[in-house]
Amino acid sequence: MTITLQDVTYQLGLKIDGGPISGYIDDKQSQTKWTVKLTWFHNTVCGELEQDAAEERLLRYTKGYIMQLIGGILIPDAFDSRVHIRWLPLLEDLDTCGGLSWGSAVLAWLYRQMCCATEHGGLSTTPDNARGEQRLRHYRRTLNGISIMNIGL
């Protein structure tokens, strides 16, 4: 069975026909150097939202919440605890952000992680690779958890 863009839009409610989301991080140091812990977003940016919060505070809260969705659910890192700051510029204008093809980005990330989990691409192709199998099971559990939730950006 192959996961398609139609599956992503049906199960997650994410847009697949908008503007492209692109980028590439080629080394492990860049992957961790430019990330922020999700707990920091939760404690610092989101925190408690007052009933009569100003519009600026609402926008800040919304962007922090979206960053938590990106890093924790849609495009998680290996430990589900950090989010890359490369997503912040996309959140500057929320109207434009909502028009982007987030479904395509999520599907591309899923396929990339599945390839990394099975360690194809010259790294290792042994079928008894415990680390790769563990990572693959992790992403399957993540997808099962996402399909239960009704997420839409």
Percent of residues, the chain, with pLDDT higher than 90? 8
Confidence bin at 101 (pLDDT 50/70/90): very high
Crossing angle of helices 5-12 and 102-118, rounded to 10°: 110
**What does the domain layout of the chain look like in residue ranges?**
1-21+100-153, 25-98
For residues 13 and 94, give the distance between their C-alpha atoms in angstroms, rounded to a whole number.
17
Asked whether residue 100 carries a pLDDT value surpassing 90, the answer given is yes
Contacts of 6 (CB under 8 A, 6+ apart): 16
Residue 101 contacts residue 83 (beta carbons within 8 Å): no
Asked whether residue 29 carries a pLDDT value surpassing 50, the answer given is yes
pLDDT digits (tens, 9 = 90+) for 45-95: 777 777 888 888 888 888 888 988 888 888 887 665 888 888 888 999 999
The residues facing 100 across adjacent strands are 19
Asked whether residue 116 carries a pLDDT value surpassing 50, the answer given is yes
